[in-house]
Every structure is written in structure tokens, then in C-alpha cells.
Amino acid sequence: MRTLASSTPPAWADRVAGSLDELLVDHAHCEKKAAGTALRLLFSYPGVEFLQAPLAALAREELAHFEEVLAVLRERGVRMRPLRPAPYAGRLRARVRNGEPGRRVDLLLCCALIEARSCERFGILTAALRGVDTELAGFYAGLLASEARHHRDYVDLALAGFDEHEVWTRLEETAQHEAAVLAELREPRMHG
Ligand SMILES: [Fe+2]
Ligand SMILES: [Fe+2]
């Protein structure tokens, strides 16, 4: 994914390979959080007309992904359970500006980067699981395209109504920050 400032090291695939059940539970939480984030943006910006329909569609699709992961958990006999949230998203948003409209651009770009990272990692999982767990590999291959589309959707929403150069510069800065945040995490998580 061109937007990301770093590539996931091979050590990540090794780390999660031994904890696939935990990774799936974490993944379920990620999809639910993605739906919640899109909904929260809808509540935060009820007056920004162009955000309404795309964010509603994103929330709906993420919730459908959540249901798909729940079905995978059920099939594999893995219980959905609470997990201590990974510090990734919180740390990523620590640099979001307070004043508008910068805050809105930054929040949308954080979402864009989370989607890009999910997409990259689904790709890694697809390749790593091929031949090991064909069903799960197929599941991740199926999700890859939607996360790539979500990434583009969020970038487009950030660009709408803003200076293009400013948004691309901010995206680059946020991508550097995202890479630094991720480099410090060691847990077997989707964003760990
Ligand atoms: Fe998703
Ligand atoms: Fe997504």
C-alpha cells in the first residue's frame, strides 16, 4: 500500500501464526471498532453533507465484516471475548489537531491509514495461510479488496473541500507517525 510509510516485517506473520484464535478475536473487535468510528464521525459532523451517505455505507459494511468474523469464530469453536484494546488507534490519534477543520481531516486520514494497514496485513495473512489454512486464507483474500476501497474512500473524504496539497502532506506526516507507533507494538494483534 503506497500510503503506508513502513512495511510489516516478516516477524509479524510469525508472531500471529501461533495465536490465530486470539488474532481472530482481535479482528472481530477491529471490525466493530471500524463501524463505531464511522458512526462516531457521523454524530460529530451532522452538518457536513458529503460525509453522511459514505460514512453510513462504511459503518454498515464494517458491521457486516464483524458478523462475518463472528461466523468464522463460531465455525472454529472460538469464543468471542473481551480483549484489552491494542494501543495502536489511540496512539495514532494522539496527534489529531484540536481545531476544525484540521481535526476532521486528521480523523479521516487516521481512518485511511488504519484501513491501509488492515489491507496490507490481510494480504500478508492470505499469503501466509495459503496451504496451511485454505479456508482462512480465502476469508482474508475476500476482505482485502474492501479494506483497500475503504482506504481510498477515507482519503477522498479528507480531500473533499480541502486544499489537496495540504491533505497529501498531512497524510504523509500521519503515515510516518503510524509507522512509528506500530514499530513499538509487539502483541499478536491485527495492529500489533
Ligand atoms: Fe472491515
Ligand atoms: Fe474497513
What letter represents residue 63's amino acid? L
Percent of the chain with pLDDT over 90: 90
More confident residue, 38 or 85: 38
What's the gap in Å between 148 CA and the centre of ligand 1?
10
Average pLDDT estimate for 111-131: 96
What's the gap in Å between 31 CA and the centre of ligand 1?
5
Proximal ligand: closest to the CA of 58: 2
Q: How far apart are CA 89 and CA 80, in angstroms?
A: 21
Mean pLDDT for the chain? 95
Average pLDDT estimate for 86-110: 96
What is the model's pLDDT at position 1? 57
Proximal ligand: closest to the CA of 55: 2
pLDDT at 117 over 60: yes
What's the gap in Å between 147 CA and the centre of ligand 2?
4
What letter represents residue 152's amino acid? R
Q: Measuring CA to CA, how many Å separate 6 from each of 9, 107, 117, 142, 173?
A: 9, 20, 10, 24, 12
For residues 13 and 176, the answer to whether their CB atoms sit within 8 Å is no
Average pLDDT estimate for 28-43: 98
